[in-house]
Structure 1
Amino acid sequence: MCGIVGLFLKDKALEPKLGELLSGMLEIMTDRGPDSAGFAVYGAGAPDEVKLTLRAPEGYDFAGLAAKLGDGVGLSERATHAILTLPAGREAEVRDTLAKVAPDVTVVGAGSRMELYKEVGLPSDVAVRFKLAEMSGTHGIGHTRMATESAVTTNGAHPFSTGADQCLVHNGSLSNHRTVRRNLERAGVAIQTDNDSEVAAGYLSWRMREGRSLGEALEDSLGDLDGFYTFVVGTESGFGVLRDPIACKPAVMAETDQYVAFGSEYRALAGLPGIENAKVWEPEPAKVYFWDRAAA
């Protein structure tokens, strides 16, 4: 089942409303995935800084942890998650320190602009808990999960991030994800959960580290990943969409002069401004779609 939403803004005037719009889209997809939800938002950032999104048990002392990391580390808390902002040159050092002094804290995402949040619960509750409606940015993606093949856990919630400023949400199932996972691990790609969606994210990150663009990596996945799926991928500069060659999972897109939007169903898009004048279509099977800020 599961529900996917994505919103890429062309009009800067809408950027303060990104979280509000994405929150509404996410909530509408509740009946496609009431078990857990998550989202990634691409907001403000600096090229010489890195944001680390941390997840920890309820009530964790993030402020105490930040104090152990020394000067120059900024902290922003949202429920069970926190964003550490630090000089890019300190990322490896801070990750090493976190592994030593905070083994119960997980780094779920990293990048200059991306912040990533996910938890168990109704999508509307997750959105409120992390104050999604207050967030601004250029684009974001979200996911509502119905756990049909594994336990309902935060680890199983989407998005999954395996590269800087890169994340993926997925509706469907990969039949060869165990084989792909073994190959990725041999190539040095760490997969933290048993979710096949993280394997898909890791595959794209690996291909991009090999020099492929995101579009090329998505094209490669058509030959290397078996199963039925819809991928929506966020990057620092934009977002991409790919459906498998059979395309049995529902998907709809809309585009206006102000935005490009994706939803598992049209009703996720129905509340967007100007939707009545949008170009609306079903993305074609095995075709890569990608929108980039530089070209917007």
Structure 2
Amino acid sequence: MCGIVGLHLRDAALYPRLGELLTGMLCEMEDRGQDSAGVAVYGDREWSPEGHSSVSLLEVAEDVAGLADAVSVSLGSPVAGQRLGDTTVLTAASGDLLEAVRAVRPDVLVAGFGSDVTVLKGVGHPRALAASWGLAKAQGWQGVGHTRMATESAVTPSGAHPYAVGPDQCLVHNGSFANHATIRRDLRAAGVRFDSENDTEVGARFVAHQLEQGRDVETALKELCSTFDGFYTLLVSNSDSFAVVRDAIACKPAVIAETDAWVAMASEYRALSDLPGVEHARIWEPEPEVVYAWTR
């Protein structure tokens, strides 16, 4: 049992409230998973300045300023760094930031990267983690969150969701993939790298691999449904899209709500109950293997 939440804002007047709303949603799902949690926030310009690249890193022991200086030398341009809870976020006005980070720290755990997304993950109670990140103050147009009860792998920062393995992409998952070992082997044979033994990472890498080959999110998720065995509810997002899909028997709970101002989903309705205007929302339970997707 894990908890998923996601919020896609259509009304720019709500952008300053993204973190506040996402925090409330995440904390409502804390009893579905209390060993770790994570969020992906799109469009917060304090964390991910416009026109910059950002990289979120896990388990960085050294001083943030020292790491930023070392990456600056490798990159050949200034790098800024900040610590948000257990996550270190580096930003630079260069698209080569990720490569420079890996040149300096080849074994570092990358939680997320891109031009719009900041990914924050940690071990501990979701409410405490949200406070350590300052999540309630975040702004932007989209956010995804997850509270985890571990079943398939160890409780570590690398095992927390979201899994953000492509540029500005992320995936969160409630459920279990039965054939993840076989698919991981096939992806590794195709040159895909992995950072954990978590079954969810296999799903995220599979979707990212599909997108790299030119497929859109809806096609990638349909291919996932035909390839993966198990039971799952998935939320997949990137800078421009927000998509939900469930397995063939819709074993894991999910609810979607939509208004002119926003689209939201969660494992349970109570995570949506405080959203502005929810009393006027169209609310439904997603059908099995139907991909629901929205774009900016």
**TM-score computed with the length of structure 2 as normaliser:** 0.93
1:25-81 per-position Cα deviation (integer Å, ceiling 9, x unaligned):
0001011111111000001457853111112256x3011111122242122321221
Partner of residue 69 from structure 1, selected from 65, 68, 71:
71
Q: Contact 1:78–1:129 (CA<8 Å) still a contact in 2?
A: yes
Matched, 1:272 2:275: yes
**1:89 Cα deviation from its structure 2 partner:** 4.0
Counterpart code for 2:59: A
The residue identity in structure 2 corresponding to 1:68 is A
Alpha-carbon distance in 2 for matches of 1:19, 1:92: 26
In the TM superposition, residue 211 of structure 1 has moved relative to its aligned partner by 1.2
User: Would the alpha carbon gap of residues 234 and 154 (structure 1) be closer, same or farther in structure 2, given more than 3 Å must change?
Assistant: same
The answer for the alignment partner of 1:187 in structure 2 is: 190
Aligned pairs (5 A) from 1:78-227: 78-91=84-97, 93-99=99-105, 103=107, 105-227=108-230
**1:93 and 1:147 mapped to 2: Cα distance?**
31
Structure 2: which amino acid aligns with 1:130? W
Indicate whether 1:27 and 2:33 are aligned. no
Aligned amino acid, residue 139 of structure 1: Q
1:285, CA displacement in angstroms? 0.7
> Cα 1:34–1:46, aligned 2, differ >3 Å: closer, same or farther?
closer
3-state secondary structure, aligned to 1:82: strand
1:83 aligned partner, one-letter code: V
Alpha-carbon displacement from aligned partner over 1:221-243 (angstroms, at most 9, x marks no partner): 11111111011011011211010
Counterparts of 2:50 and 2:134, CA distance in 1: 25
Deviation string 1:190-249 (CA, Å, 9 cap, x unpaired) is 111010000000000011111101111001111111111011011011211010111010
Q: Once the 2 structures are TM-superposed, how far is the Cα of residue 148 of structure 1 from its aligned partner? A: 2.6
Q: How does 1:4-23 map to 2 (within 5 A)?
A: 4-23=4-23
C-alpha distance after superposition, 1:139-183 (max 9, x if no partner) = 010000011333322221100111000010000000110010011
Whether the 8 Å CA contact 2:159–2:196 is kept in 1: the answer is: yes
Counterpart secondary structure, 1:222: helix
**Alignment partner of 1:69: what SS?**
helix
CA change 1:92–1:252 in 2 (3 A) is: closer
> TM-score scaled by structure 1?
0.93
Aligned mates of 2:253, 2:208 — CA distance in 1: 25
Cα distance between partner residues in 1 of 2:59 and 2:112: 13
CA distance in 1, matches of 2:82, 2:98: 20
Secondary structure at the counterpart of residue 161 of structure 1: coil
Deviating beyond 4 angstroms after TM superposition, the runs of 4 or more aligned structure 1 residues are 45-48
Structure 1's 257 and 195: CA in aligned 2 closer, same or farther, altered over 3 A? same
**Size of the alignment, in residue pairs?**
289
Q: Which runs of 5+ in 1 are unaligned?
A: none
**Partner-residue secondary structure (3-state), 2:105:** helix
Change (3 A) 1:145 1:86: same
1:118-156 C-alpha deviation (Å, 9 max, x unpaired): 111111111001111011010010000011333322221
- 2: CA distance, partners of 1:126 / 1:96: 26
Partners of 2:34 and 2:149 within 8 A in 1 = yes
**1:92–1:148 Cα change, 3 Å:** closer
User: Hey, what's the Cα distance between the residues in 1 that align with 2:152 and 2:165?
Assistant: 22
SS at match of 2:264: strand
Aligned-partner residue type, residue 38 of structure 1? G
